[in-house]
Structure 1
Amino acid sequence: MKFLFYSSTVCLLSAQAAFAASNTKVPKPCTTKSPTTDRYYDLNPLHRSAHEEGKKNKDAEEGSWHAKGYDYGANFTLNFCGPVVEELEHVADLDKDLWRNVSAYYEKGGKTYSIGLQNSEPIFRGRKLVLNYTGGSLCQSSSTKRSLSETSFSERALVDDDDEDDDDDEDDEDAPKKHKPSKSEERRKSTIISLLCESDPLAKTSVSFVAASLDECTYFFEARTPAACGGIEAASQALSPGGVFGVILLIAVLAYLVGGCVYQRTVMHQRGWRQLPNYGMWASVAGFVKDLFIIATSSCARCLPSRRGYSRVSLSQEHRGRETRRPSDDENRLIDNLDEEWDD
């Protein structure tokens, strides 16, 4: 009985812990909260997905988001919190497995350059909501520009020297050495998207290109959208109504068992199975179920063939034989009596 008491207590505590754990909120991808205002931001409405068979998707027909490059010489295609809708082929400086993860790219000189892989974690830089993509194509190396500037400066400095031999020696010493960047020194293109609030709820989201760094390694964009205005997070229910009802019912049953056992043990001084609340009622229910089981099994046993059944059949056949024999004996006796009377 003590085992039942302890197990009921453990089940009650575990049920309460499971119910509390179900209420813990797991952050959704592409969502964040402002550390200063505690407002909730959901950028999932800005994500455009590919067209699925059997379903109509207006965003898929429009494709990903586009931004004009103006004086850059190329237009940009990007998506929010996911890869672009278009299928890319032969992306520069990227493995084939990463082509489907590109979230922003542009085409220039017959080549496709990635300016960032997908990222679904927007962050705050102060009060600015920012989405950052990294790991794109390789940046343009600046070592060649640096070497050219250094060589031109050394040549200008040595024009007025008198000793040609000294000039040659100095040229050899001061000549810049060619340095090939290793994989650890490789820099890849990245994208920074600053999301600004558009107070008009009927306004459409617009994405515009702001600038690019001198080495064409970082690209800045600005997106105006109502999704960047923030709001209040809608309370999401982890359990279904049936699950909540089941948890409440389980807690009620465990409280009934534990409370009843404590009362019967401390107040009524009961021991053993009599510590259960309403022991007499549950015992009668168990006896009723036992009787039903016996009745059901006995009724089913009658349908099974047995020796007793065959003996009954044989006895009944013998009884019928005896009954068929009795009329013939009576007839013989009656005939004998009639013969005797006829002789007399």
Structure 2
Amino acid sequence: MAFIALAMQTQAADEPDCTVTHPSTGKFYDLRPLTRKDNDDDWTPDTGKDQSMEFKLNICQKVQKKELDMKYPEDVASWGKRNKGTSLGKLSKTPVFRGDSLILEYTNGDECPNASNYRKSTTIQFICDTSVSGQGNPYLISSSNDCSYWFVWRTPAACSTDRPSGGNGGGIFGTIIGVVVAVYFLGGIAYNRIVHHARGLKQIPNYQIWVEGFDFIKDMAIILFAKCYRPKRSQSSYHNLPVDSEINTLIDDDYEDDEV
């Protein structure tokens, strides 16, 4: 199980942006349908009765709003405005799981009021819901000291889906095999070095077997090469050889000479 978990972590590094694989179930999640692109309107979260602040969100992409009224508008993925625009978090393209909760965090926003050593942040929790209209809409759950903001988003995009072609089970299996082989060699080398005080190539686990196997393969390769590339004698080489009648005549002549 440890090998499988490590393989899943290795594969996670190769996930497309804005996607994630559940570390326990192996199910695949893709939030890219929620990404707003050029000329699209940003997501405007519901705030309930609190209308004192305007919010704009984008998923795995910076907000598309042109006039942010900010000093540093670069890579802002969560934006808010009460009296002046403020960054509620920088762009991130890496959703994660906390337990069974699918989360996307935007951190390192503008300074928090009355706490300049803290930065504003946004946490978006996605919940699988196929009953909502379209992709649903985020809504504000709570804010803490005008510094951190928590949104919940019920959307079908948060439901598990098929992995895109190229990220199939064969890739997972290959990753597992690679991890097992790496653990075998690294663990064997460490064991031989510490326990048997081996040095050099003899640190390799089952070193003698590998040497004999290499020698066997080398010998077989030489034999096959020799059979495949053995030079053929041209038929012209046989033209000057005596035929059977000539050989018989030579034998008779030798016999007559002996009688004389």
State the distance in 2 between where 1:237 and 1:189 align.
Answer: 35
Return the match for 1:119 from 79, 92, 99: 92
How far off its partner does 1:116 sit?
0.5
How far off its partner does 1:223 sit?
0.9
Return the match for 1:227 from 157, 160, 181: 157
Residue in 1 that maps onto 2:76: 102
Look up the SS of the partner of 1:115 in the other structure: strand
Q: Which amino acid aligns with 2:223?
A: T
Q: C-alpha offsets along residues 175-210 of structure 1, whole Å, 9 cap, x if unaligned? A: xxxxxxxxxx61111001010001348743321111
Residue in 1 that maps onto 2:3: none
Residue in 1 that maps onto 2:120: 189
Matching of residues 71-110 of structure 1 within 5 Å? 71-91=50-70, 96=72, 99-109=73-83
In structure 2, relative to structure 1, the CA distance for the partners of 1:237 and 1:29 (3 Å cut) is: closer
State the distance in 1 between where 2:130 and 2:18 align.
Answer: 21
Residue in 1 that maps onto 2:138: 207
Q: Which amino acid aligns with 1:28?
A: P
How far off its partner does 1:48 sit?
1.2
Look up the SS of the partner of 2:102 in the other structure: strand
In structure 2, relative to structure 1, the CA distance for the partners of 1:141 and 1:117 (3 Å cut) is: same
Residue in 2 that maps onto 1:140: 113
How far off its partner does 1:237 sit?
7.1
Matched, 1:131 2:62: no
Q: C-alpha offsets along residues 2-58 of structure 1, whole Å, 9 cap, x if unaligned? A: xxxxxxxxxxxxxxxxxxxxxx7821111111123221111111111114xxxxxxx
Q: Which amino acid aligns with 1:47?
A: T
In structure 2, relative to structure 1, the CA distance for the partners of 1:65 and 1:279 (3 Å cut) is: farther
Q: C-alpha offsets along residues 148-178 of structure 1, whole Å, 9 cap, x if unaligned? A: xxxxxxxxxxxxxxxxxxxxxxxxxxxxxxx
Identity of aligned residues (%): 28
Look up the SS of the partner of 2:29 in the other structure: strand
State the distance in 2 between where 1:47 and 1:102 align.
Answer: 14
State the distance in 2 between where 1:134 and 1:264 align.
Answer: 60
Matching of residues 1-344 of structure 1 within 5 Å? 26-51=14-39, 60=40, 63-69=41-47, 70-91=49-70, 96=72, 99-109=73-83, 111-141=84-114, 186-200=117-131, 203-213=134-144, 215-236=145-166, 265-266=222-223, 275=226, 277=228
* Structure 2 unmatched ranges of 5 or more: 1-10, 169-217, 235-260
State the distance in 2 between where 1:210 and 1:128 align.
Answer: 15
How far off its partner does 1:133 sit?
0.5
- Specify which structure has the higher proportion of helix: 1
How far off its partner does 1:102 sit?
0.1
* Structure 1 unmatched ranges of 5 or more: 1-23, 52-59, 143-184, 239-260, 268-273, 285-344
Residue in 2 that maps onto 1:340: none
State the distance in 1 between where 2:45 and 2:55 align.
Answer: 5
In structure 2, relative to structure 1, the CA distance for the partners of 1:202 and 1:141 (3 Å cut) is: closer
Q: Which amino acid aligns with 1:36?
A: S
State the distance in 1 between where 2:119 and 2:37 align.
Answer: 26
State the distance in 2 between where 1:83 and 1:205 align.
Answer: 20
Q: Which amino acid aligns with 2:64?
A: V
Moved more, 126-135 or 200-209: 200-209
How far off its partner does 1:137 sit?
1.4
In structure 2, relative to structure 1, the CA distance for the partners of 1:264 and 1:129 (3 Å cut) is: closer
Equivalent residue pairs, number: 175
How far off its partner does 1:88 sit?
4.0
Q: Which amino acid aligns with 1:221?
A: F
- Specify which structure has the higher proportion of strand: 2
State the distance in 2 between where 1:133 and 1:265 align.
Answer: 62
In structure 2, relative to structure 1, the CA distance for the partners of 1:201 and 1:262 (3 Å cut) is: farther
Look up the SS of the partner of 2:138 in the other structure: strand
Look up the SS of the partner of 1:206 in the other structure: coil
How far off its partner does 1:276 sit?
6.4
State the distance in 1 between where 2:43 and 2:136 align.
Answer: 9
